[in-house]
A and B are shown apart, each in its own frame.
Chain A
Amino acid sequence: MTATPAVSVTLDLLAATPPYEQVRAQLAGHIRAGALQPGDKLPVVRALAADLGVATNTVARAYRELEAGGLVTTRRRVGTIVQAGSGSEVEPALLAQAKAFARSARVAGLSDDETIDLVRGALSASGG
């Protein structure tokens, strides 16, 4: 048995965000945070759709959006893989701060949407 924690995607079907966007955003987050490295293979569309209990089109659209954003590339026979240079070259210190913030938000009992709203608010306040 492996003790390595696995990378996962969580879907909230009651959330206002469309399911494909939830999948896209989380995969993009994993890629930017380095949890998914260049060359890593994403699951086959049908398999991930089955695991999440959604239509294959939902996952296929998320993959298409990721490909359009230059984060992954799809090749016949190989599948969908994380593209080299797709990460935003985040500094380790910044990444650690992001993780610490996510943990603090969890401890504070904030939902994912509330946490993201908080970040958006902070970005707006800083003039971004």
Chain B
Amino acid sequence: MAAGLLFVVPLFGLLLVGVVVLVVLAATHSPDAALPHEVASARRHGVVVSVVATTVLLLGAVVLTGMTARSLQGTPVLAAAVPLLAAAGALVVLLVGELTWPRPKGATRTAVLSDRRVRDLARGGWAVTALLVSGGLALVVVVGAVLADGSGRTITTTSVGNRVSATAGPFPGVVYGGPQLAALVIAVALVALVLWAATNRAAVVTADPATDALLRRSSAARAFRILTFAVLLTLAADLFYGGSAAQRVHDGAFASAVAVAATLAGLLCGVLSLVALLFPVPRLTRSALPQHPVRV
């Protein structure tokens, strides 16, 4: 009964979040007809790139899991980094989306003078969340490396006299954590590249400065969202498997409590990762539509 609730409650919560997101999106959606043609195109481009990136993320995770499991013959060390590697693929899609669009056309071109900086996009809730969870993952990997035994993939408790009393795994030691950290560095570097591309790409013609800035913030938020999802999923696996392994080898009250807390935190991270993936990025709403044309 309790085990059933453990899965039903998060699933129900996710369903509820999904419905709320859909209702809010539908209620605040601004129809394309209300937008200048180029701005509507920009929004469509953003949605298409985001859908392709999310597809690459999810399909990539499935394919990479299969590949790593097969190639390493039952010791899927790289499988621990699959979410982040799949995220790297999705971030490449976002990067290509930013680098290939929009292209100024026509013999007469107008640019509104605006001082754009990468750091302007590296602010806000999505950036802070991505930074916090990335820091959390780095911390978990370091702690896991310290707590793991010499094999780097299990945890062992020893009794007096160095007699092995219990070993359990998989545990996020260096063997799993190393590839995760490397993949995290790659993913963070790709996010930085997306921010750079989103900052330096051409402005959307006919968009007023505020709308143009909003479109750039959306691009940045999509990158942070993918990173946040992948990091939370990796954290979920590390904490869940690490906590479960620790529960099997520790019988002290405090150590057991910490292990149980880590396991539960892992489950929570798993749910939060899906919530992050569902959470909408900044977008053009009815109230955000420009009221004044740009002076050219």
Q: Could you mark each residue 23-52 of chain A with 1 if its beta carbon is under 8 Å from any beta carbon of chain B, else 0?
A: 000000010000010000111101110111
* A18 at interface by CB-CB < 8 Å: no
Q: Which of A6, A13, A36, A44 contacts B108 (CB 8 A)?
A: A13
A79 touches B110 (CB 8 A): no
Q: Which of B109, B117, B200, B208 contacts A10 (CB 8 A)?
A: B109
B108 touches A10 (CB 8 A): yes
B294 touches A48 (CB 8 A): no
Which residues from chain A contact B288 at a C-beta distance below 8 Å?
Answer: 1
Grouping DSSP codes into helix (H, G, I), strand (E, B) and loop, the B interface class, with mixed when no group exceeds half, is loop
* B218 at interface by CB-CB < 8 Å: no
B109 touches A53 (CB 8 A): yes
A6 touches B295 (CB 8 A): yes
Which residues from chain B contact A50 at a C-beta distance below 8 Å?
Answer: 104, 200-203
Query: Interface range on chain B: under 10, 10 to 19, 20 to 34, or 35 or more?
Result: 20 to 34
Rounded to whole Å, the gap between the CB of A21 and the closest CB of chain B is: 15
Interface size (A, Cβ < 8 Å)? 27
Closest residue of A by beta carbon distance from B115: A41
* A94 at interface by CB-CB < 8 Å: no
> Which residues of chain B from 99 to 123 have a CB within 8 Å of any chain A CB?
103-105, 107-117
Rounded to whole Å, the gap between the CB of A37 and the closest CB of chain B is: 12
B110 touches A44 (CB 8 A): no
Which residues from chain B contact A6 at a C-beta distance below 8 Å?
Answer: 112-114, 208-209, 294-295
A8-B208 in contact given A1-B288, A3-B292, A50-B202 (Cβ < 8 Å): no
A43 touches B116 (CB 8 A): yes
Closest residue of B by beta carbon distance from A5: B295
In the bound complex, CA of A5 to CA of B295 (Å)? 5
Closest residue of A by beta carbon distance from B203: A51
Q: What residues of chain B have their CB less than 8 Å away from a CB belonging to chain A?
A: 103-105, 107-117, 199-203, 208-211, 288-292, 294-296
A-B contact pairs, 11 of them (CB 8 A): A2-B209, A5-B294, A6-B208, A8-B111, A10-B111, A10-B296, A11-B111, A13-B109, A50-B104, A53-B103, A53-B202
